[in-house]
Amino acid sequence: MELLMMQPVFKEAIWGGKKLREVFGYEIPSEFTGECWGISGHKNGESSIVGGSCDGMTLSRLWQEKPEWFGYYPGTQFPLLVKIIDAKQDLSIQVHPDDTYANEYEHGSLGKTECWYVLDCEEGTEIVIGHYAKDKEEMEAMIRKQEWFRFIRKIPVKKGDFFQINPGCLHAIKGGTLILEIQQSSDITYRVYDYGRLSNGKPRPLHIEQSIATIKAPFEPSVQIPVIEILEGAIHTHMIHCRYYSVDKYDVHGEFIHEFVSYFTNASILEGEGTINGIPVKKGNHFIIPHGYGTCRFKGEFSMICSNPETE
Ligand code: ZN
């Protein structure tokens, strides 16, 4: 049993920048790189394993061939997707469907529940979460009349904030924000409003009807209160537990010993460096701790976000 170190996949976008190189040292394809898919078994961008007995193998193939490494988690595809997003410009205002809607209208795809940990953002930055329509009817009217200023709810954001975005929640990251996103492995996004921007000379497609069908109204905020505990060698912050995943942050100082008991654990190093059972890890590394890996002896000074898939 071994740690599965991942080779990320990069995605360019009109709103992307170059912080993935400047902050994390990744080799990015251009100055408009929006996303690093650090742990992905999704067909639109598959990460593969680097080193060890599975060197070069894609995560989706490993999922098929070694289900025991994933604790026989149910499902035909790797369930989660871990990304870092560099928004140099505003992202489109968007919404995601739930499993039922996606399965019916998007060829059996998973729906998308996602969450964000804010790695960094510029002073005075806001984030779009929710809307001000009082019911479905008003929501539809505001969208059709393009009353974006009245409709869209913006709140201030700062480094270290955490947000859960359930299906049906209108959302968008604004320019100047760097986040780690953990989500169901789905690439289905309904764009409601794109600030009238052009990509290669034309506007990107909007999905008005699907958005109206899936946006929940009125908006109900999902309140997360992180639970912090001081352990020997680490500060543990439990961020969330929902039906698809749980998310925990570990700030390791010195030596921290832990055994993960879930199906398997995704891990991303956000800051610093150190070792895990003697294997060096540093800022920007993404890896999977397989099922039954046993005790992890973490050494060093680093921050790490872990996510575990859940079942209902
Ligand atoms: Zn989203």
Q: Is 197 a catalytic residue?
A: no
SS3 of 72-131: CCCCCCCCEEEEEEEECCCCCEEECCCHHHHHHHCCCCCCCCEEEEEEEECCCCEEEEEE
Dist. CA 82 → ligand 1 center (Å): 12
Q: Which of 301, 177, 309, 183 is nearest to 250 (CA)?
A: 301
Work out whether strand 177-184 and strand 152-156 pair parallel, antiparallel, or are unpaired: unpaired
Dist. CA 113 → ligand 1 center (Å): 8
- How far apart CA 95 and CA 112 sit, in angstroms, is 9
CB under 8 Å to 265, separation ≥6 — which residues? 288, 289, 306, 307, 308
Dist. CA 65 → ligand 1 center (Å): 30
Query: What is the pTM for the complete model shown?
Result: 0.94
Instruction: Tell me which of 123 and 199 has the higher pLDDT.
Output: 123
- How far apart CA 266 and CA 252 sit, in angstroms, is 16
Dist. CA 13 → ligand 1 center (Å): 14
Strand partners, 188: none
pLDDT, tens digit, for every residue of 74-118? 999 999 999 999 999 999 999 999 999 999 999 988 899 999 999
Q: Is 238 exposed, middle or buried (0-12, 13-18, 19+ CB in 10 A)?
A: middle
Q: How confident is the model at residue 129 (pLDDT cuts 50, 70, 90)?
A: very high
Q: Is 312 exposed, middle or buried (0-12, 13-18, 19+ CB in 10 A)?
A: exposed
Give the side-chain half-sphere CA count within 13 A for 164.
17
Dist. CA 72 → ligand 1 center (Å): 28
Strand partners, 82: 39, 182
Dist. CA 95 → ligand 1 center (Å): 6
pLDDT, tens digit, for every residue of 32-64? 999 999 999 999 999 999 999 999 999 999 999
Catalytic choice (21, 153, 191, 243): 191
pLDDT, tens digit, for every residue of 152-170? 999 999 999 999 999 999 9
* Radius of gyration for the chain, computed over Cα atoms and rounded to the nearest angstrom: 19
